[in-house]
A = this chain, B = another copy of it.
Amino acid sequence: MAVYPLSAQQDPEAYEPFKVGMAGYTFHKFNLDQTLDALQKTNVQYLCIKDFHLPLNSSEEQIKEFHAKLRSKNVIGYAVGPIYMKTQEEVDNAFAYAKRVGVNMIVGVPNVELLPYIDKKVKEYDMKFAIHMHGPDIALYPDADDVWSHVKDLDPRMGMCLDIGHDRRNGKDPVADLEKYHSRIFDIHIKDVTAADKSGKSIEIGRGILDFPAFIKMLRKVGYSGVCSLEHEKDMDNPFMGIAESIGYLRGVIEATK
């Protein structure tokens, strides 16, 4: 992965083990320039790259331009995904893409029967594979317990992207799951939700039911050193104030629990 060092001055989480970032999906109705503008305005420097901003068939030249644009805004593209995979060919494409992009992690949603194949690919590429969970909406990978059961006996580079909103919407406790499964948690999607079941909707962080002080304290306790990326799925036609409020809330909690 290309490394663009940031000074402590530029990085509000400089002294935390973890980083605050943004999931590309948050901006699925916006182009890369609009996305980077929102990251700059909220002082966020880590982006999980979604294919609508950098397609899987991007050329070397397009990837180079993409990184140059991110670098000009002080943003690091730290992983790719989520990428859905239904065939071995799609797995092959995803790994080749991640390698060309220069990241060492794929956030993915592969069919379960592909896991042994992916287990070989993470060894071949020396790359982490973080399975995304989606709560009660989709039968595939509803929560952290489920992903754990699928990866625990595989290569240690096989793990999960803990989506704290979807985990909670499936009735689970994401703070407890962070503690239990942290050895296999490579990426985190942060969000708040309105209810601990399928009716739960994404909402500005702090307005929902999740306990963010407990979550931040647990990040420190387990020494999570990855990115916590905001995946904000409310008002997606105009999410910017909600994004800013959410990032602000998170940073307020980080500061006040130091």
Contacts and interface: CB of A to CB of B under 8 A. Distances in A.
Contact of A212 (B205, B243, B246, B256): B256
Interface in A206-258: 206-207, 212-213, 216, 240-257
Interface string A1-45: 000000000001000000000000000000000000010011100
A207 B9 CA distance: 10
A187 interface: no
Interface string A39-57: 0011100000000000000
A200 B7 CA distance: 21
In the complex, which range does the number of interface residues on chain A fall in?
A: 20 to 34
Contacts of A167: none
Contacts of A253: 252-253, 255-256
The DSSP consensus for interface residues of chain A is: helix
A73 to B, nearest CB: 15
B43 A212 contact: no
Given A206-B248, A249-B255, A253-B256, 6 more contacts: A205-B252, A245-B247, A246-B248, A247-B248, A248-B250, A255-B256
Interface of A: 12, 38, 41-43, 204-207, 212-213, 216, 240-257
29 contacts: A12-B207, A41-B241, A204-B248, A205-B248, A206-B248, A206-B251, A206-B252, A206-B255, A212-B256, A213-B256, A216-B256, A240-B241, A241-B241, A241-B243, A241-B244, A243-B244, A244-B244, A244-B245, A245-B247, A245-B248, A246-B248, A247-B248, A248-B249, A248-B250, A249-B251, A249-B255, A252-B252, A252-B254, A255-B256
